[in-house]
Copies of this chain bind each other. A is one copy, B any other.
């Protein structure tokens, strides 16, 4: 398979990519069939293979993962440097805002949906979360166990996206993005700088930073 294969006309290519993103977003990698994507795009199924050698390549190009990574990274960087006590709010605003405003929400949804059933996608999402969040955290945090804290932050972000876009759990699914960011911000902050409870008794919690 030569990599320098001729590309098709841009309009048709874009149409296929848009249809593919839609299917991957709503059905995940497995259930989204090339036939359905072709039907949505109004083209022949074999044309998809002609443009993108296989389904995995189509998935990668439709999601455009580097674009997500770059946008998220830029948003996090733009949130301001080094303010440790407001890092939770910054991350919350960056992540939620990134999902709501931009055109990246479908890609992220597709990523989460597909990660549940596809091990490769799971690995991609795992590394993506780890690298992006952990890097931002370690850049301006002095608390111990940054990896554990990053994973906890990732878990809450994952849960919100899962509840909002996959499960469509109301009223969270229809909640205002700004409100959502503000609500989860103190919890992210607790994961980032709070006491992780390793030294306390289970029934006696230390005072959270927001109380």
Contacts and interface: CB of A to CB of B under 8 A. Distances in A.
A181 to B, nearest CB: 7
B154 A163 contact: yes
Interface stretch (A2-10, A42-50, A53-61, A111-119): A111-119
Number of copies: 2
Contact of A208 (B93, B114, B205, B208): B93
Nearest to A178: B208
Most buried by B among A113, A126, A145: A126
Contacts of A209: 93, 97
Contacts of A178: 202, 205-208, 211
A148 B167 contact: no
Contacts of A122: 166-168
Interface stretch (A13-21, A27-35, A62-70, A135-143): A27-35
Contacts of A28: 116-117
Contacts of A27: 117
Q: Which residue among A113, A151, A206 has the maximum number of chain B CB atoms within 10 Å of its CB? A: A151
Which size bracket describes the interface of A in this complex? 35 or more
A152 B172 contact: yes
A107 interface: no
Contacts of A187: 156, 187, 190-191
A210 B178 CA distance: 9
Contacts of A125: 167
22 contacts: A114-B116, A117-B117, A122-B167, A125-B167, A126-B168, A126-B169, A147-B170, A148-B175, A151-B163, A151-B169, A152-B183, A155-B172, A157-B159, A159-B159, A178-B208, A179-B199, A182-B200, A183-B197, A186-B208, A187-B190, A189-B205, A190-B210
Given A93-B209, A148-B172, 15 more contacts: A30-B117, A93-B202, A98-B210, A101-B210, A113-B117, A115-B167, A117-B117, A130-B169, A151-B170, A151-B172, A155-B164, A157-B159, A158-B167, A183-B191, A185-B205
